[in-house]
Amino acid sequence: MPADSQLDLLADALGDPTRRAIFKYVAETDHPVTAADVGATFGVHRTVARAHLEKLTDTGLLITDFLHKPEGGRPPKVYSRSEKRLDLQEPVRQYQVLSELLLHTLERFGDAAEIIVHDIGAGFGRQLAASVSDDADLGERLAPLVEAGAQLQYEVNGDTVELHTGNCLFREVATRRPRLVCLLDQAIVTGLLSGGGRPYELVDSNRRTTAHDVCTLVFKAAERSVVEPDNRAESAPETEDDA
């Protein structure tokens, strides 16, 4: 979309602060919402909430569906974020084209490309981890990715961390070249988790293609290496009295 059209869209749909807050609420909710949900959340009548939601739908920022219930009856209209991505730049830059060309160049290295991408991703993850204290909890350790726009949920079970991502930061490029981009993303998270002094390794991954890609990554902390002290007393040299 041209920059001028993007600007018009932003001004028309998101110029109103209440509507902007509603859009953010819908975009960050992991399930479709109704006008009644929005009205209750923002303290406005559902008719007002519906007007804001319909305006956001008209501009393509939201999509609609109907929630059919097992007990029947009239299904309520529900709203969720669309695939439209806002990317306003002035002057215009083509970073996505550049990234795809660089990935295409890397692919010519064959299997070596995966090694290069993994090393670069893990190194970047460790660099992000350097800004976090060693005793930080998992939420604090993942904060650099959240601040960058990632939507993360995680579960910890002993030495295992199961991470669910609801917004791929590299989606447009990953859709076209998933092998290297997903490997890069996984390596970044691995390096970030390992920045606390205990290395983690990726043991499983699952990508579900839905209205929005949701990836599940499972990491396991590596066993801590324990060095047993050598308690054996050194033998004293034999003297004439011992002989």
**Position 227 pLDDT exceeds 80:** no
Confidence of residue 232 (pLDDT cuts 50, 70, 90): very low
Residue 87 falls inside a structural domain: no
Average pLDDT of the residues in 147-168:
89
Please report how many Cα atoms fall inside a 13 Å half-sphere around the Cα of residue 133, on the Cβ side. 4
56 class by beta-carbon count within 10 Å (0-12 exposed, 13-18 middle, 19+ buried): buried
51 domain-assigned = yes
What pLDDT is recorded for position 166? 78
pTM score of the predicted model = 0.70
Residues 103 and 212 in one domain: yes
Q: How far apart are CA 227 and CA 83, in angstroms?
A: 52
pLDDT band, residue 206 (cuts 50/70/90): confident
DSSP-derived secondary structure for 153-172: EEEEETTEEEEEESS-TTHH
What is the arithmetic mean of pLDDT over 168-189?
90
State phi, psi for 123 to the nearest 5 degrees. -65, -40
- Provide the pLDDT for residue 123: 95
CATH number, domain of 179, equals: 3.30.1380.20
Regarding whether 184 and 66 lie in a shared domain, the answer is no
pLDDT digits (tens, 9 = 90+) for 6-53: 677 777 778 889 999 999 999 888 789 999 999 999 999 999 999 999
Q: Are 74 and 120 found together in one domain?
A: no
* Residue 167 DSSP class: S
Strand, helix or coil at 9? helix
Same domain? For 77 and 118 the reply is no
Indicate whether 99 and 75 sit together in one domain.
Answer: no
Give domain status of residue 176, yes or no: yes
Domain span holding position 71:
3-81
Average pLDDT over residues 64-68: 88
Question: What six digits make up the tokens of 57?
Answer: 């739908």
Q: Are residues 41 and 131 in the same domain?
A: no
Provide the CATH number for the domain around residue 33: 1.10.10.10
* pLDDT at 104 (0 to 100): 93
Domain end (from 49, 81, 113): 81
Mean pLDDT calculated for residue range 81-104: 83
- Asked if residue 42 belongs to a domain, the reply is yes
- Determine, yes or no, domain membership for 181: yes
Distance (Å, whole) CA 8 – CA 11: 5
Mean pLDDT for 57-75 is 84
pLDDT score of 201: 93
pLDDT for 134 = 77
